[in-house]
Structure 1
Amino acid sequence: IAALDELIAQRVLHETGDMDSIRYDFTHPLLQQVLYSELGQAKARRLHAMIAEALESLYGGSVMAHADELALHFARSHSDTLARKAVRYLYAAGRAALEKYANREAANYLAAALDRLDRDATIVEVPREEILLTLARTRQRLGEYDEAMTLWQSARDNAVVRGERGALADIEHRMGLACYWSGKYADALSHYEFGLAEADFAVPATRVRLRLAKGIALQDLGRLEEAQAEVESALSSAAAGGVDNDTLLSRAHRALLLLYTWTGPFETARTHGVEAVAHAEAAGQHMLEWTAHWGLALLAGVSGDAEEVVKHIKRSDELADQMQSPLLPLWSAEIWVQYLSGIGDWDAALSIAERTIIQAKSLNQRVLLPRLYVWAGLIYLWRGAEEKAKEYFDLAWKIAGGEKTGSLEGVGERALDVPSIVPAHLGLASYYLAKGDPEEAVRVGEAGLAIADRTGYVVWSLQWLLPVVGEAALLARDFDRAARHSARMRRDAGRLKHRLGLAYADACDGLIAWFRDGDPRRGIDLLRSAAEQLEAIPFPPQAARVRRKLAGALVETGQREEGARELRKAHDVLARLGAAEELTGTREEMRERGVRPPPKTVATGAAGLTGREIEIARMVAGRKSNKEIGGTLQISSRTVSTHLSNIFVKLSVSSRGELADFVRQNDLLEG
C-alpha cells in the first residue's frame, strides 16, 4: 500500500474506481514502457504469468469475457506449463474480435495461437483445424489473399489426408473466393468445379454456395448464359435439398441482380436486388446486405436513377463502416466516382478516385484498378489534361490485358475480364476521339463492342461504348456506320428503358438528320430532346455538348438569338465544370457567331450549388412538395427529386428538414 501511495504521489500511477473496484493505471504510456524495459525478459515473463493466473482466478466464471486481457498475459509469459491456456485465450480473443469486425486484431490473436500449436504438438485440447480455417477466413477479409491461400492449401492437404471430402468441398469454395477477389477468375472457376466434385459428401448448402459462386465467376469471365444456368441450378439444388435459409437465398438473388443489371431487364434485376436485401437483413449478414445495396446502386447508375444511387451507396458505406473492412469502401468509391462525374462534381470525383487508386494499389485490387484509372482519366480528358488521361488509359489497358483482346479464345483469364477490358477500350477510344483521330477511336471502340457483344454485356455497350463510337463515326463523316450504331442504341435502350441510351440515340439521330439528310429542323427537335433528357438524368457535361450542336442547327435555320441562348447555357455548364477543351471550342463558336463570350468562370452558390439547385432549396424551405416545385419551374417531379439528391450530397444533409435549416442558416431565402 505504501508503495502504491508513493507511486501515486510521484504521478507514476493514478487511481480510479470506487471502494468495491479500485484500478491503477500508468499516467503515461512512456512510463509503462520505461519500467517494463527495465524488468528484463525473465522478470517480465514471471510477472505476466503471475498477473495472468491472478486475473483468471479473479474473473472466475466470466473469464471468456476477458479473453483478450488474459491472452496478452498468458502469451507473454512464454511458459510451457501455461501454453495451453495461452492458446485457449488467444483463440477466444480472436473469435471475439471477429464478432466485432476487428479483423486485424483477430488475425494477430489467431496467428499467435496457431504458431504456439505448431511449436507444441502436445496441445490437443484446442481445435487446431478450426483455428487454421478461421485465420484463413480472416486473412481473406483483410484482402491478404496470398496469405489466405497458403492457409487454405494447408487445410486442404489436411482434409485430403483425413479423407474428409465434405470438408474438402468447403475449402475449395473458400479457395475459389480468394482467387475471385484477387481477379483470378479462371483459377476461381477451377476451385469451384473441384469443390462441386466433392459436394455429394458435404451438406446440401455447400453445393448451393459452390454453384452460386461458379455462376458469378462465369459472369465475370463473360459466359453469361452459363452463369444464368448455374445460378438457377443453385436455386433448384436448394429446393431439392431442402435448403431454405436466408443467407443462401440472399446470395442467389444477389447473383441474379448483378446478372440482369448487365443484360436486362432492369425491373427483373431490381426485384432480385430487393429480395437479396430482405434475405440478408433477415439473416443478419452485413456482408451480403452490403453486396445487395452495392449491386442496387450499380443498377441505379446504369438505369439513370440518381436518387437511388445515392440511397444505396450511402447504405453500403454505413455497412462497410460497421464491418471495418479495408476493401469494401474501395468498391463503393468507384460508384461514387461515376456518380459525381456524371452530375458534374468533378473535383469531388477526382479526389475520391485518386485516393482510391492509391488504396487499391496497396491492397492489390487489380480487378478494380483499371476501371478507376478509366473513370479518372475521362475527367482529366474533359478538363484538357490529355497527357494525364493517356497515362491512366494506358495503365488500365495494361492491367486489364488489353493487348490480348484480339480473340476471346486461348488468351487467358484476363482477356475475358469483361468489367476491366471493356472500360479500357472506352478510355482509349475516348482519347483518340478527343485528339481528333475518329478512325482510330472507331477501331478501338468497335473492338470493345465485339467483346461486350460476344459475352452478352449489353449495358456496357449501351452505356459507354456505343455513344463514343457513334460520335467518332459522325466526326469521320461515316454516316452509315453512325446510323447503324444509333439504331442499335435506340433498339437496346428502348427494350431496357435505358434513359441515357435513348438520349444518346436522339443526339446521334439529330446530327444525322442535320448533316447527312440536310434536315436541320428535324435535327433541332431531336437534339433538344436529347439535351433535356440528359439534364433530367442528370448528365450535365454531355447535355452541354449537345446544346452546342443544337445552337449550330438553330443558327443554320435562322434562329440566331435562340442559338446564342443555347451557347450561353452550354458555356455556363462547361465553365462551372472546368471542361477546358469544350469551353474553348464554345467560346470560339460564340465569337464566330457574333456572340460575346461571358467570363470563363461562373459564380456558384453556397457549397457549390447551382442556381437551379438554390431555387429548389429555397422552395423546399418554403415547404413546397416536389410536384409544386416542378410546376413552378416547369420540370418533372422526377427531375426535382434528382436535383434534391445532388443537393443532399453537396451539403451533406439527409432530409428536407436539414436542407431547410441550411437554407435559413446561410441566408439563402432571398435571392
Structure 2
Amino acid sequence: MSRGDRGPSLRGRRSECESLEQLITSVRTGQSRVLVLRGEAGIGKTALLDHVAGSAAECHVARATGVESEMELAFAGLHQLCAPFLDRLGRLPAPQQDALGTAFGLRDGNAPDRFLIGLAVLSLLSDVAEDRPLVCLVDDAQWLDQASAQALAFVARRLFAESVALVFATRTTADDQAFRQLPEMLVRGLGDADARALLRTALRGPLDSAVRDEIIAEARGNPLALLELPRGRTPAQLAFGLGMPNSMPLVSRMEQGFLRRLQPLPVDTRRLLLAAAVEPVGDVTVLWGAAERLGIPPGAAAPAAEAGLVEFGARVRFRHPLVRSAAWRAAGVRELQEVHAALAEAAELDPDRRAWHRAQAGTDPDEAVATELERSADRAQARGGFAAAAAFHERAAELTPDPVDRAARVLAAAQAKLQAGEFDPALDLLAAAEAGPLDDLGRARIDLLRAQVAYASRRGNEAPRLLLAAAKRLEPLDIELARETYLNAFSAAMYAGRFARAEDLAELAAAAPRATTAQNRKRDLLLEGLASLVRDGYSAALPIVRRALQAYRTEEISVAEGLRSLWVAGVVAADVWDDESFNVLPARFVKIARDAGALSELLLALNSRIIMLVFAGEQEAATAVVDEARAVREALGSERPLYEVMVFTAWQGREEHALPLIEASMNDVVARGEGIGAAVAQWAHALLLNGLGRYEDALVPARAAGDCPQELAAANWGLVELIESAARSGAPDIAADALERLSEMTQASGTDWALGVESRSRALLSEGDAAERLYREAIERLGRTAVRAELARARLLYGEWLRREGRRLDAREHLRAAHDLFTAMGAKGFGERARRELLATGETARKRTVETRDDLTAQEAQIARLAARQRTNSQIGAQLFISPRTVEWHLRKVFTKLGVSSRKELAGVLPDAVQASAPV
C-alpha cells in the first residue's frame, strides 16, 4: 500500500480505486450508485471496501458483514446496517414504520411483506442522506440471511437520486441470485509485477527464485494468498526450495496457513477466538460474558490482536473470513459445544440467538431446546423471516425426541420454506415429514402444501387436481381450511383454463358446496357461485354469483381475504358482464395489495385493473396503472411478459409494440400451463387486428380465444371479436355460431353491458330496419355503462353501416363522435378506422391525438399526475416504490419542463390527471 494526495491507495488497484472514487463523487453530487464487487476469497474485496470508506470524507458510512453462522437469523444483516439510524424510524410513513419495526422485532404486528420492508429501508436510507451523502458497505454478502439479501437487493434496484451508495462484496462462486442483476466489478488477481512486489513485503529472509515463481503461480495474483502462502513454509524451504509443492486447493491452503498461525497462540486465546468465531455479530458484551463463563481472562485477546488475526474494538472484526473459519475448524466437538453453551447464557437478552446457541450446544434430543427453537421460529415468521423460521423448525425437529412432534415440526419447516419461495427444499421436507408418524390432519396438510407448491411455482394444470384432493381430505378435519382450499382450487383452475382437466372441474364443482360454514359469507357465496357455473350452467349460477359480487362490493373485507379472493371475484364480475363490480373489485384489490405492500398480488391486481380501464376508455388512469405495474415488476425483478402493457398497446393499435408482447406472452403462458393468460393474449391480438381493420387476420386469434369458455371473461370477449372479424371478412356462418354462444350468456346476464354488446354484434349480421334498431339499442344501452370503449365501437360500427347505406350525413354524426371518443381514449387503430370512414363520407377529419407532454418521461408524467392529485412525496414514493427524495428530484424537472412552480399549477396543465373519474 502506498499513499498519495487522496489518502491510501492499494497496490495494483489503480483502476478499481479510481472507479470507486468516482462512485463517491457521484453520490456527493446527489446521485445514487450501486456496485457489487465480485471475486474469490482473499482477492482484496474487503480492502476495496476500506478504500471506499477512506474516500468517503463528509459522508455517513454504514457497514454490515454477512456471517455464515448467522444466515438463519432473519434480517440480521439488515439490522446491522440500519441500527445506527433506527432513531429516525418515526419519520417514515406509518406502514413502513410498522413493517421495519416488526422485521427488527421492535414491535408486534402481522408479518410484513418483504417488499414493504425494502421500501421502508429505502425511505430510511434516503432520510439519512438528506443530512449528508450515505455510503453503505456490505462485506461477505454471500453470507447474508435471505431476508436481508432480498431487502437490500430491492433497495439497490430502486435507488436513484438519494445520494446513497450501496456497495456489496461477494464471492465469485456465490449463489446470490438477489444481486445478480446489479452492476458488477469483477475483482481480478494482481498483475505479475505487483504480485512480486507484494510478495516481497511478506518476507523476512531470502527467497529461492524457483520458490518465488511457484508461489506467484499458485497465488494467481490473490493478495491474501501472496501474503499467507510464505507463512506456510520454513525458512529453509523459502531459501533453498526444499519440500514438495502442496496440491491442496488455494482457499484450503490459506485456511491451513491461518490454522498454523493459531497453533502457537495460548490456549485461552484460541478459545476466545473460537467464541468470537461462533458469536456471529461481533458483540463484545456477549463475547466477554461468554469468556467469563469459560474462565478466559481479559488478557487473552492481546496475542491474537498482535498476530494481526483479529481486532477487538466496539465490535470484533476478523482480519479475513478464513481466520474465522480456521478458528472454527480447529476446535473439537466438545469444545464447540462448551463455547455455544457459554454464548447461550451470555445472550440471555436475545432469545433467538440464545435458542440457536443452545441448539448447537448439544446433539442429544432435548424437548426444552426444541420448544425454545419453535418459539424463535414463530417470532421469525411474525417478522416475515420465513427462511429463518424454516431453519429454526428444522433444527427443532432434529432435537425433538417424540416422533409425532418431530414430524409436525418438519411439516412446519416445509410450510415456512414454501412461504420463502424455496419450493424444492419445501418438497424435500415434505418427503421427510411424510415418512414420519402423522395424524390424518398432518397427512392432509402434506397434500395441501404439495398442491400449494405446484400452484405457486408453476400455476400449471396439475395444481387444481392437487388442491382438490387436499380440500377433500381436509373436509372432515378442518372445514375452514378446506373451504379456503376449494377456493384456491377454483382459482388454480381459472388460471389453467384450457389446460385444466374437465373431470377435475366437474369433481371440484360437485365437492366444494359440501364444505359449508357460517363464518365467511362472501367467500362461501363466491365458492358456491363458481361451483354452480361449472355444474349448473351460466343462467342457473347467476343469482348466487350476483349475491357474492354484491357482498364483495359493499361489505368490509380483510387484507388477507382480499389478497386471496378479490382476483377471482373480479374475473367472475367480468364474466357476468357486471361493469359496476368489475370497476370496483379490481380497484379494491389494487388498494389492499398496495397498502399491504404485497407486490406479487399487486401486480396481479394491476393486470386486472388495466382491462377495466381499457373498456372504460380511461387513458390517463390506464397509463398510470401501466406505469405502476412497470415499477412493481422492476421492484420484483420479474422478467415475465408485461400482460397489462400488451392489452393496453393492443387497444391503442400500436402493432409494432403489441405483437412482440403478445408473442412473448403466449410463449410464457403455454410453457407455464396458464390457459387464462393464453385467452387474454389471443383476445388482445384479435382486438388489435380488428382495430386496424384486418378482419381476416383477426379470425384466428379471436376463434382461439372464444373456443375456451372455461377461461371465462376473456373467452366472452374473444367471441365478440370473432363476430366482428367473421362478419366483416365474409364468414357469416362463423359469426352466427359465435353470436349464438354469446347470446346464451348475454341474455341470461341482462346487464346493459351484456345486452348492448349483443345488440351491436347482432346488428353486424342484420340488415335494414332491424340492423338500425339494434345499433341504436346498443348505443343507448352502452351509454348507460362505464364501458365507454364499447360505446365508441358501437358508434363506429353504426356509422360504417350508415355510410354503406348511402346515408352520409347521418353517418358523419356517429363517425365523428366515435373518432372523438377514440382520440380521447388513445385508441389509434380504431380512431384511424373512424377517420377513414369520415373521409369516405366527404368530411375531412384531421389526425389527432390526445394532448400529451412528450417532453416528460413516463415516470415524470406519472409523478406529475399523482402530484396534481395532491399526493405527498411520501405517498407517491410508496406507490411507485421510490424514495420521497427521488420523487422531489423528478418533480423539480417536471416543474421546469412544464413551466410551473407548484402542485396546484399542475392541475391546470394536466387536467386529465385530476378529472379522471376512474380511481387507480
Decide: shared fold, TM above 0.5. yes
Structure 2's unaligned 5+ residue stretches are 1-60, 63-82, 88-127, 129-133, 140-271, 291-346, 854-864, 872-902, 916-920
2:786 aligned counterpart, secondary structure:
coil
Structure 2 counterpart of 1:337: 610
- Give the Cα–Cα distance (whole angstroms) in 2 for the partners of residues 126 and 309 of structure 1: 48
- Give the Cα–Cα distance (whole angstroms) in 2 for the partners of residues 31 and 482 of structure 1: 65
Matched letter for residue 414 of structure 2: A
- Give the one of 531, 534, 538 matched to 2:786: 538
- Give the Cα–Cα distance (whole angstroms) in 1 for the partners of residues 844 and 360 of structure 2: 85
- Give the Cα–Cα distance (whole angstroms) in 1 for the partners of residues 579 and 571 of structure 2: 10
Does 1:70 pair with 2:336? no
Does 1:600 pair with 2:600? no
Structure 1 counterpart of 2:121: none
- Give the Cα–Cα distance (whole angstroms) in 1 for the partners of residues 840 and 135 of structure 2: 72
Deviation at 1:473, TM superposition (A): 1.0
Does 1:293 pair with 2:578? no
The 3 A distance-change label for structure 1 pair 96 and 498 is farther
The 3 A distance-change label for structure 1 pair 651 and 300 is farther
Q: Is the CA contact 1:195–1:210 (under 8 Å) kept in the aligned structure 2?
A: yes
Percent identical residues: 17
- Give the one of 122, 138, 149 matched to 2:427: 149
Deviation at 1:570, TM superposition (A): 1.9
Structure 2 counterpart of 1:180: 455
- Give the Cα–Cα distance (whole angstroms) in 2 for the partners of residues 648 and 550 of structure 1: 38
- Give the Cα–Cα distance (whole angstroms) in 1 for the partners of residues 475 and 528 of structure 2: 25
> How many residues get paired?
543
Q: Is the CA contact 1:141–1:325 (under 8 Å) kept in the aligned structure 2?
A: no
- Give the one of 522, 525, 528 matched to 1:256: 528
Deviation at 1:75, TM superposition (A): 4.4
Does 1:390 pair with 2:662? no
Q: Is the CA contact 1:426–1:465 (under 8 Å) kept in the aligned structure 2?
A: yes
- Give the one of 508, 532, 542 matched to 2:761: 508
Matched letter for residue 400 of structure 1: V
Q: Is the CA contact 1:87–1:126 (under 8 Å) kept in the aligned structure 2?
A: no
- Give the Cα–Cα distance (whole angstroms) in 1 for the partners of residues 730 and 457 of structure 2: 43
Alignment deviations for residues 39-64 of structure 1 (CA, whole Å, 9 cap, x no partner): 97744756759549989xxxxxxxxx
1:595 aligned counterpart, secondary structure:
coil
Structure 2 counterpart of 1:477: 730
Q: Is the CA contact 2:693–2:833 (under 8 Å) kept in the aligned structure 1?
A: no
Point out the more displaced range, 188-197 or 163-172: 188-197
Matched letter for residue 527 of structure 2: A
Structure 2 counterpart of 1:497: 750
Which has the greater radius of gyration? 2
Q: Is the CA contact 2:441–2:474 (under 8 Å) kept in the aligned structure 1?
A: yes
Structure 1 counterpart of 2:645: 376
Structure 1 counterpart of 2:598: 325
Does 1:563 pair with 2:811? yes
1:362 aligned counterpart, secondary structure:
coil
Q: Is the CA contact 1:438–1:472 (under 8 Å) kept in the aligned structure 2?
A: yes
Q: Is the CA contact 2:575–2:712 (under 8 Å) kept in the aligned structure 1?
A: no
RMSD: 5.1
Structure 1 counterpart of 2:391: 111
Q: Is the CA contact 2:386–2:420 (under 8 Å) kept in the aligned structure 1?
A: no
2:648 aligned counterpart, secondary structure:
helix
TM-score, normalization by structure 2: 0.49
1:426 aligned counterpart, secondary structure:
helix
Does 1:419 pair with 2:676? yes
Deviation at 1:332, TM superposition (A): 1.2
Alignment deviations for residues 511-532 of structure 1 (CA, whole Å, 9 cap, x no partner): 333xxx3x2x543332233234
The 3 A distance-change label for structure 1 pair 149 and 589 is same
- Give the Cα–Cα distance (whole angstroms) in 2 for the partners of residues 588 and 69 of structure 1: 74
- Give the Cα–Cα distance (whole angstroms) in 1 for the partners of residues 781 and 589 of structure 2: 28
Point out the more displaced range, 315-324 or 332-341: 315-324
Deviation at 1:294, TM superposition (A): 3.4
- Give the Cα–Cα distance (whole angstroms) in 1 for the partners of residues 722 and 684 of structure 2: 12
- Give the Cα–Cα distance (whole angstroms) in 2 for the partners of residues 223 and 279 of structure 1: 34
- Give the one of 65, 71, 92 matched to 2:375: 92
- Give the Cα–Cα distance (whole angstroms) in 2 for the partners of residues 245 and 251 of structure 1: 10
- Give the one of 436, 443, 446 matched to 1:168: 443
Q: Is the CA contact 1:432–1:440 (under 8 Å) kept in the aligned structure 2?
A: yes
2:435 aligned counterpart, secondary structure:
helix
Q: Is the CA contact 1:439–1:472 (under 8 Å) kept in the aligned structure 2?
A: yes
Structure 1's unaligned 5+ residue stretches are 1-10, 18-26, 34-38, 56-65, 239-243, 403-412, 606-646, 654-661
- Give the Cα–Cα distance (whole angstroms) in 2 for the partners of residues 544 and 213 of structure 1: 37
1:594 aligned counterpart, secondary structure:
coil
The 3 A distance-change label for structure 1 pair 138 and 442 is same
Structure 2 counterpart of 1:527: 775
The 3 A distance-change label for structure 1 pair 87 and 327 is farther
Q: Is the CA contact 2:348–2:354 (under 8 Å) kept in the aligned structure 1?
A: no
The 3 A distance-change label for structure 1 pair 396 and 54 is same
Alignment of 1:358-369 (within 5 A): 362=638
2:707 aligned counterpart, secondary structure:
helix
- Give the Cα–Cα distance (whole angstroms) in 2 for the partners of residues 147 and 296 of structure 1: 33
Matched letter for residue 333 of structure 1: L
Matched letter for residue 451 of structure 2: G
Q: Is the CA contact 1:342–1:539 (under 8 Å) kept in the aligned structure 2?
A: yes
The 3 A distance-change label for structure 1 pair 523 and 178 is same
- Give the Cα–Cα distance (whole angstroms) in 2 for the partners of residues 86 and 49 of structure 1: 25
Point out the more displaced range, 327-336 or 299-308: 299-308
Deviation at 1:209, TM superposition (A): 6.3
The 3 A distance-change label for structure 1 pair 538 and 663 is farther
The 3 A distance-change label for structure 1 pair 122 and 384 is closer
Alignment of 1:109-148 (within 5 A): 109-112=389-392, 114=394, 116-117=395-396, 121=399, 129-148=407-426
Does 1:449 pair with 2:706? yes
1:473 aligned counterpart, secondary structure:
helix
TM-score, normalization by structure 1: 0.65
Point out the more displaced range, 381-390 or 72-81: 72-81
Structure 1 counterpart of 2:668: 399
- Give the Cα–Cα distance (whole angstroms) in 1 for the partners of residues 370 and 595 of structure 2: 28
- Give the one of 837, 846, 855 matched to 1:589: 837
Matched letter for residue 381 of structure 1: A
The 3 A distance-change label for structure 1 pair 358 and 154 is farther
Structure 1 counterpart of 2:7: none
Which one has the bigger helix percentage? 1
The 3 A distance-change label for structure 1 pair 386 and 260 is farther
Q: Is the CA contact 1:258–1:295 (under 8 Å) kept in the aligned structure 2?
A: no
The 3 A distance-change label for structure 1 pair 552 and 309 is closer
The 3 A distance-change label for structure 1 pair 488 and 532 is same
